[in-house]
A = this chain, B = another copy of it.
C-alpha cells in the first residue's frame, strides 16, 4: 500500500538561476514577492509556466522555478494563450517590461485582457527600455531625457492600468517593488483570480531612470486599499477614475478593480466537449465524426 504525502512547496522550489539584473534593480523586489506569493498558492512548479518577452525584466523565467518560455520581444501574450488553451490545467504567468508589453506588445496585451483567460500578467514598469540601454518607453514621463529623446520625451505616457480596465481585464492592480508585503498579497490575489489579472509593478531601473527612482515613488505612492480608503474595487468607474491619477501627483497602488466573468476557456467549444486536449492526446478523427464531415462534402 502506498501512501501519498503531499509535499509542501517551499521557496526553494521556486528558485532557479541567479538573476543577472544590475545590483539594486527593482526587479529583485518583484521576484522575491512573486516567489512568496507562489509559495502561498502551493502551486506545483511543474504545473506552472512563466512566459516572458525580451527585456531585462523578461529574463524573469530564468530566475523562477517551474517551466519557462522566454519568447520574442512583445509576444509573450499570444504564446501564453496558446499554452493556456491547449492545457488549461497549467498555471500561466506572463512577465515582462513596459516596452515589451505596452509598446510592441500593446495590441497583444489588450486583446489578452478582453479574452479573460485565466492568466496573470505582470509588467515590471520602469518607464524605460532597460536592456537596449535607455530609450523612452510608453510610460516615460514627458520631457525625460533618454538616448532616444536627447531633447526630452514629447509623448504623453499612457496608463496601463486604465487601458487594462477599459480592455476588459477582470483584475487590475498596481504595486511597487519596494512594498514587499503589498506586492506579495496582490500577487497572490492575482494568481488566485480566475480570469485575466494584470499587475502594473512599479520597478525602478536604477541604472537608467534617474527620475522615477525608489525615493521618488516612495514619496508618492499610497495604498488604495488601505483600511480607511473608500475605494470600491468592484466599481469599474471608480477604478477608471483612480487610474486617471497620473505621475504628476500622488500615485495610488493596490487593487483597482476586480470582477468575475466567465473565462475564455470555459466558453471554448472544444474544451467544453473534450476538456484538456493535451491529456486527451493527439488522435485521429473518430469514425463517426469522420462520416459526419465527409457527408457535408457529398
Contact = CB atoms under 8 A, between A and B. Distances in A.
Contact of A106 (B106, B154, B155, B236): B106
A181 interface: no
- Interface residue range, chain A: 35 or more
How many copies of this chain does one complex carry?
2
A107 interface: yes
Interface in A210-268: 236-237, 240-241, 243-244, 261, 264, 267-268
Interface string A140-173: 0000000000010011111100110111100000
Interface stretch (A2-10, A86-94, A109-117, A121-129): A109-117
A116 B154 CA distance: 10
Interface string A266-292: 011100000000000000000000000
Contacts of A154: 264, 267-268
Contacts of A269: 151
Contacts of A116: 156
A104 interface: yes
B166 A162 contact: yes
A138 interface: yes
A167 B151 CA distance: 24
Contacts of A244: 236-237, 240
Contacts of A158: 110, 114, 166-168
Given A156-B168, A237-B244, A240-B240, A106 B110 contact: yes
Contacts of A108: 107
Nearest to A270: B151
Contact of A237 (B105, B110, B240): B240
A282 to B, nearest CB: 22
Nearest to A261: B156
A152 to B, nearest CB: 8
Given A106-B106, A158-B168, A237-B240, 10 more contacts: A107-B108, A110-B110, A114-B138, A115-B155, A115-B156, A154-B264, A155-B264, A166-B243, A237-B237, A237-B244
16 contacts: A103-B111, A104-B107, A106-B106, A107-B107, A110-B158, A110-B163, A114-B155, A114-B156, A151-B269, A154-B267, A155-B264, A156-B168, A158-B167, A159-B166, A240-B241, A240-B244
